[in-house]
Every structure is written in C-alpha cells, then in structure tokens.
Homo-oligomer: A and B are copies of this chain.
C-alpha cells in the first residue's frame, strides 16, 4: 500500500494540525503508512501546543496530487477549504465535525462526522473503538484541539462529549486543563505584533452562500482593540482581497476570548445583507455580535439561511 496523506484545512488551526498528527499516529498503529501534512502556516497557538507536547509541525505541501493518490481529510470536507489538487486524488476517509458541502466521491468511503465541538473528541472515540492506547503526548495534542475549538469549553459548539473527552485527555496528558488551556489560548490571541496580512490568513475560510462568494475569517483576541485600532487599514485590505478574488462578502470576526463576544468587520456588496442577517445595521463597517464566538454554529448557519 502506498503512503496515505492526512491533513486538515487551509489556514490551519490547532484542531486541524493536531488532528492530522493524531489520526496519522492512529492509522500507523493500525498498520497504515500514513503521514500528517499541512496546507499552511502554523499559528502561534498551535506552535505553543506542539512545543508543549514535543512535536514538530507536519510537513507543508503544495499540490496534494503531486504527493499521493490517496488521502484522509480531518476537520474539513469542503473542496475549497482543502488541498489544491484534491479532485485528482481519492479521499478514503473523512473525520470531521462540520456541515457537509461541496464534497463528492465516486466510491464508498469511511466518513465520520459528529456534531461535536472538535475533531479530537471524535478521534478519542475512534481510538477506543480500535482498542489503541492514547500516549500522553498524543493526549496533550488532542486536549489542545478541544481547548482551542471550544474556547476552553465556553463556545456554544461545545458539547458534553467534548467536556468529557477534555477531562479524560487532560488526565492522560498530565496537565491542568484550565491553567494549560488559558496559557495556550493567550499564546494564540496576542495580536499586537501581527500585521493585518497575517491576521487575514490566520483562519479564513471560503464559503458560497447562495450566489454570494464569501470569506469568513476569525481571529481570537485578548484585546480586540489590537485589531479594531487598525480598522481603516483593515477595511482597505479586505476590499483589495474582495476585488482580487471576485468575492461579494468578506466577514472578518474578532472574538474576545476573555468575554466571549465578537465584533465583525464586514465589507463587500453583500455586507448590508450580511449585517441584516444578524438583525443589525452596518455601523461604519462594523457589526457588534454579543455572545457570538462560533463561526460554525453562530455565523455560517445565519448567513446560509439569509443569503
């Protein structure tokens, strides 16, 4: 059997990077020649987690079709979020916790999606189902993913299953979940030294809502003024991006991880409509989103419905 590549989405976050490493490890234990790879730069939060548990970042790849004929997707399924060349290779498995869209295969496959807060929570079950022990450092990666995706269990995407898995994994990893979790989130949320270009690429995902080609990006911040102080510059940059990519909407969400609120910078021809989807009017390109922290559960469904 030739090598199978395991990877998450573009603009990788902690769940995507660690789930690729973790699932490649599990497949290796089951006798599969699997290698974790990544599709973009590793962010500061993920770097903190990798360093803490003694891992290197997976290898960066460009076009997957040059590298393998079979691949496993973790933490995503939509074509536009996946690797370049994805339509030329065979997807043999998907482990994910997002909606399903823009995904099609010609053959049956193993597809495991569950409506939980984090891919790692599903991987925790798959280890058990296969009777494979989770080593301490792997458990640390999985815990990091859960903390990241659920904002330390505070996101509305967080389920009882995520909380349970987080507890189990923290014990296996030998860390205090609150202390470690907050340190990791803060490592990723210090935006003061980031250029706006950096912020744009941190966690931006493409969506098509009806006919509206969009990017919904999200950054976590300890102090959202690190971003909002540079709003005018940011709006110019978003408009440039819209022009270059033929978009109708750029929805840029800044999430306050200490207070669990968000503010969005919204531009494009569909900006007014997007604000209206949340019952708001655009105020100087800004929309206030109190209590909103989850792109997947609180933003994408609202835009899907309205546009």
A residues contacting B by CB (< 8 A) are: 97-115, 125, 129, 296-297, 300-301, 304-305
Contacts and interface: CB of A to CB of B under 8 A. Distances in A.
A19 to B, nearest CB: 15
The 8 closest A-B pairs by CB, nearest first: A111-B113, A108-B115, A106-B304, A101-B104, A99-B105, A110-B114, A100-B105, A106-B301
A193 to B, nearest CB: 34
Q: How many copies of this kind of chain does the complex include? A: 2
Given A99-B104, A99-B109, A106-B301, 13 more contacts: A98-B108, A100-B100, A100-B109, A101-B104, A106-B300, A106-B304, A108-B114, A108-B115, A108-B296, A110-B114, A111-B114, A125-B129, A129-B129
B97 A108 contact: yes
A4 to B, nearest CB: 14
B106 A115 contact: no
Contact of A111 (B100, B105, B305): B100
Nearest to A92: B115
A107 B99 contact: yes
Contacts of A112: 111-113
Contacts of A99: 104-109
Contacts of A105: 99-101
A99 B100 CA distance: 13
18 contacts: A97-B108, A98-B108, A99-B109, A100-B105, A100-B109, A100-B111, A103-B103, A106-B300, A106-B304, A106-B305, A108-B114, A108-B115, A108-B297, A109-B115, A110-B113, A111-B111, A111-B112, A129-B129
A142 to B, nearest CB: 19
Contacts of A111: 100, 111-114
Nearest to A97: B108
Nearest to A300: B106
A249 B58 CA distance: 46
A294 to B, nearest CB: 11
A286 to B, nearest CB: 26
A124 to B, nearest CB: 13
Contact of A301 (B97, B107, B115, B129): B107
Contacts of A98: 108
Nearest to A296: B108
Contacts of A297: 107-108
A99 B108 CA distance: 4
A206 B297 CA distance: 33
A12 to B, nearest CB: 19
A305 B106 CA distance: 8
Q: Which residue, A111, A112, A114, A129, has most C-beta atoms of chain B within 10 A?
A: A111
A299 to B, nearest CB: 12
